[in-house]
Structure 1
């Protein structure tokens, strides 16, 4: 199944860079684009007890007034961003919809989850990737809460849904298997797919007696041109070994399983951020 419905999430204060990336991907794949623009409220909770002293009451009122002013500015920015994105997408002649959501941090994940459930892929661009207040919750809602894949596109990468050379990180875990299955639409079209295993152990279970042969056979049955690379770590972290191998093989995309629980979403997001900020700068396809 090809990617026919793509979700792009952006912040009200972000540039339109992330939406442009997703729009270009949709234009090339003939896919429908759904854009969700998020904004978080500055208003505090309800006042439990009104101060008795006049000076404290005046200070509380002034603080509330500043919050209301900020709220008005946030709503104006949200509407402006929505209009600008609508104008951009109309000019590209795409099939699309643009929606906005104004919720606190706890509600971001659920707002994204509802949209991601009816999308094939969520695209995380550079602006969202650098937003530590919004990005982790978007990853959580789209990846952990739905099981749908996420394409992370760092700044400087060349986004594509038709990569020529793909490197698959494989370790015989469920998450890696899900990532391979979700990536099949573009793996079939790729000129070269390399399955990389770092320090694989030869066992009757797990990786099997010939590590990587099982997933290679699976991909071959799906018409994928695949080879297997078994890499020694030399004491280096597996991520570092895979990154260097991606450079050595001129990969256009990495496919990996996303590990961890919901409690570790910030840790996962931080790991992804460090990955794409270093080398290589290429799209990272994640599935859970």
Structure 2
């Protein structure tokens, strides 16, 4: 596999083990170096403090964030101390508004970022900010793993579902996921309600399938009707039907604001997917 530098950004000690299980397995399979950023997040907004309190509260908030970063770092070092992979670990702190800049700078030189699912019970808002920072500011393909994922299936997925909608984001995800696709038994390019008018209306998914086949990927095309209210629902149902180990798709084809307010396939899948998601923007 072509991945040689992996990175994960962790902000919660309870998510260290499931996330590192995936990252460590992928690093071992790829003979890659794993970088771990243990990030403590200051969630305060200094501009809203009453007069005279800003400095004191900011100091307390930063001290709390540093404590969280140290806690995560200790959990990471305990988990990886007997690992055979090459790894490095560093603790840092950031205000939540600075996460895009800080995380983007740290992840841009990685081949893949491995992150926990940003939505769900007891998941803080900083997880969403970290995921978006990887995709947008770091421009790094990102593997999102649910807490109960099977690392062996993700690292060498036998069946991969590709959500294809002809977007640049989907094509970026496909190119980035090629090393995984080459080892899969079958890759299903899934097209939901292809447009009736357009250059590929007579052969939906044909061009991207040809691209994958020329690389040696064992590929099939599945054209589905939108029989459920949301495209994400159709993709998830099909993933269950085909027993997919991994879903590959473009991340945030619409603006982040629009998806946050009105929803979208990316947001919906990040909230509900029970299998790992490989995304790129």
TM range (shorter): 0.7 to 0.9
TM-score, structure 1 as length reference: 0.83
1:190 to 2:191 alignment: no
Q: TM-score, normalised by structure 2?
A: 0.85
Contact 2:22 2:155 in 1 (8 A): no
Alignment of 1:119-268 (within 5 A): 119-126=110-117, 128-130=118-120, 131-159=123-151, 160-205=154-199, 207-234=200-227, 236-258=229-251, 259-264=253-258, 266=260
| Aligned residue among 78, 103, 112 for 1:112 | 103
Alignment of 1:82-97 (within 5 A): 82-97=73-88
Distance between the aligned counterparts of 2:108 and 2:270, measured in 1? Answer: 26
The unaligned stretches of length 5 or more in structure 2 are none
Partner SS, residue 165 of structure 2: coil
1:102 and 2:93 aligned? yes
**Which is greater in Rg?**
1
Q: In the TM superposition, what whole-angstrom CA distance separates every residue of 1:48-70 from its partner, at most 9, and x where no partner exists?
A: 855xxxxxxxxx5xx97676455
**How many angstroms apart in 1 are the aligned matches of 2:209 and 2:181?**
12
1:226-277 Cα shifts (integer Å, max 9, x gaps): 0101111135321111111111111111111112235457469996564355
Distance in 2 (CA, whole Å) between partners of 1:272 and 1:133 is: 16
- The alpha carbon displacement at 1:31 in A equals 1.6
Counterpart mapping for 1:11-22 below 5 A: 11=11, 13-17=13-17, 18-22=19-23
CA RMSD of aligned residues (A): 2.8
Query: Does structure 1 conserve the Cα–Cα contact (< 8 Å) formed by 2:156 and 2:180?
Result: yes
State the alpha-carbon separation in 2 of the partners of residues 44 and 234 from structure 1.
Answer: 44
Deviations 1:25-45 (A, max 9, x none): 222332211111111236764
Question: 1:6 aligns to what?
Answer: 6
Write the deviation string for residues 106-133 of structure 1: whole angstroms up to 9, x where unpaired. Answer: 111111101111101111114x544332
Structure 1 stretches lacking a partner, 5+ long: 51-59
CA distance in 2, matches of 1:253, 1:180: 12
| Length, aligned pairs only | 274
How much does 1:162 deviate? 1.8
Shift in CA distance, 226/268, structure 1 to aligned 2, threshold 3 Å: farther
Per-residue deviation, residues 186-239 of structure 1 (Å, max 9, x unmatched): 11111000111111134452x342111111111111100101011111353211
Distance 2:111 2:279 in 1: 13
Aligned in 2, Cα 1:269/1:65: closer, same or farther, shift over 3 Å?
A: farther
Q: Alpha carbons of 1:93 and 1:197: their partners in 2 closer, same or farther (altered >3 Å)?
A: same
Once the two structures are TM-superposed, the CA of residue 77 in structure 1 deviates from its matched residue by 3.8
Q: Secondary structure at the match of 1:16?
A: helix
